A and B are shown apart, each in its own frame.
Chain A
Amino acid sequence: EVQLVESGGGLVQPGRSLRLSCAASGFTFDDYAMHWVRQAPGKGLEWVSGISWNSGSIGYADSVKGRFTISRDNAKNSLYLQMNSLRAEDTALYYCAKGDGNGIATAGDYWGQGTLVTVSS
């Protein structure tokens, strides 16, 4: 059974940093791309970043480019999102999603339950 468990969310002040993690199990992690998708309270889905199976292809939404960094450790079956210079508008539930293929342009066929990030002073 595919499982994705996010962690690392919490309350953080504007301008500070936070690192999210996603622990994956139930599939061959290094065969698939992975994504971070967020959802602000009461709003729709917003893609944040994606990374191919071997980290050779990475993409970011314009809203986070230059502030967020996605990475993965295939030996640890883990996905990460380093978030710097956080803003109030980054407040959201952050989901980790498994791609349905090894490239970055993939559908998210399994999703975690999300970790909540609140940016506020």
Chain B
Amino acid sequence: SYVLTQPPSVSVAPGKTARITCGGNNIGSKSVHWYQQKPGQAPVLVIYYDSDRPSGIPERFSGSNSGNTATLTISRVEAGDEADYYCQVWDSSSEVFGGGTKLTVL
């Protein structure tokens, strides 16, 4: 089965840029979606189809996907961005999630 690999944690200072990676075999050939989940809350879609932003998601959130790595980039990080982030792809008739990355704002 397809495996998506995310770093368990990423730390960033307020105002800086956070980059969260999602690794998978030839993931660049797939559409990648990203979700944000804050404690006690349901996930929220923040990026879909590699780099599109749903309505209501700040422009500070962006995505890219190429080769074996997809990346979620959060610019000008704010305290409110502290959350778990998950990548997701569709592969061989099933959805696959990465293990999640905890973003800590220092």
Interface of B, secondary structure class, is strand
**Chain B interfacial residues counted at CB < 8 A:** 24
Q: Taking the nearest CB of chain A, how far is it from the CB of B69, in angstroms?
A: 19
B67 lies within 8 A of chain A by Cβ = no
Which residues from B are CB-within-8-Å of A105?
31, 90, 95
Told that A105-B95, A108-B88 touch, could you supply 13 new A-B pairs with CB distance under 8 A? A44-B99, A45-B43, A45-B88, A45-B100, A47-B88, A47-B97, A62-B94, A95-B43, A107-B45, A108-B33, A111-B43, A111-B44, A112-B42
Could you say which interface size class chain A belongs to?
20 to 34
Q: Does B49 contact A (CB under 8 A)?
A: yes
Q: Between A and B, how many residue pairs show CB distances below 8 Å?
A: 61
Chain B residues engaging chain A, CB cutoff 8 angstroms: 1, 31, 33, 35, 37, 42-45, 48-49, 54, 84, 86, 88, 90, 93-100
